[in-house]
Amino acid sequence: MYLIDLFFKHSSVFYKYLQFEVIVLFIVIIGCMTLLFPKNYSHVIILIFFSVMVLELYTLTTLKTSDEFNETTFSKLNRIEKTMMIINKKATKEDFDYLYMDANLIYLLDSILWIVKYNPLEFYLLVKGSNNILKILYDIESFYNANGVYPENIAELYDIALDIRTKTINNMHNLIYSLPQKEFKEFTNNISNRYIILITRDLNKILTHLIKHNKQTGINIRTKIPYLFTSSYDPTPSSFQQFY
């Protein structure tokens, strides 16, 4: 059963959220059914059976939706990687190994593949820089998970990511300026703002780790007091914003 697998074979963040949702849904179903129907042995058995069937269907539907989303995301990532290797013949898929960490960014970049022809180099630098920021985030989190502390050079890594962020935003602007402005004015504003939101979100994840590091080690002469970036409210929790 999917319910058994959910609680005994998975431990990732996604499955933990799903476990929580299933538990809450079970409590709600039991509560509502208890109020509506008489409390006797036979009804309790039926109630439990009904609840399990509903939760099994809910889990199956959620996992199927997740699988379809992951498959779509992988397909879009594959298109981006192929485009990058066309632009730079020496590039390989391994050069963009960390883009998978931000599905929203994948959806955005895939949505604007059709404008690559206007300035391939700037698009290449945009994607490469975005991947490098995610690599820094990955390296920091991997080090912490393995050692229980952050790397000593985390402040320097944050500075590097901050510099890359500035460059990638400039790459995005340069790409936009290559487009026919009269035709794509609204479009270009949308993709620029969306990219800044997404890349700032990733940078702030690095910043959060830096702040935690400072709390762990205390304030000293090497402590870097970081600047917290804020960005416009993003009402889209998942990768559903398209720009074509």
Range in 61-65, 80-84, 162-166 with the lowest mean pLDDT: 61-65
Cβ-based neighbours of 27, under 8 Å, separated by 6 or more: none
Give the per-residue pLDDT at 28: 76
- Global pTM reads 0.68
Q: Which residues of 212-222 are buried (b: 16+ CB within 10 A; e: fewer)?
A: ebbeeeeeeee
| pLDDT tens per residue across span 201-221 | 999 999 999 999 988 887 665
Enumerate domains of the chain plus CATH numbers: 2-71 (no CATH), 97-217 (1.20.58)
Task: Choose the most confident range, by mean pLDDT, from 33-47, 61-75, 124-138.
Answer: 124-138
Sequence-ordered strand ranges (E) for the chain:
none
Where residue 241 falls among pLDDT bands split at 50, 70, 90? Answer: very low
Phi/psi at 154 (nearest 5 deg)? Answer: -60, -35
Q: pLDDT tens-digit profile of 112-145?
A: 998 899 999 999 999 999 999 999 999 999 999 9
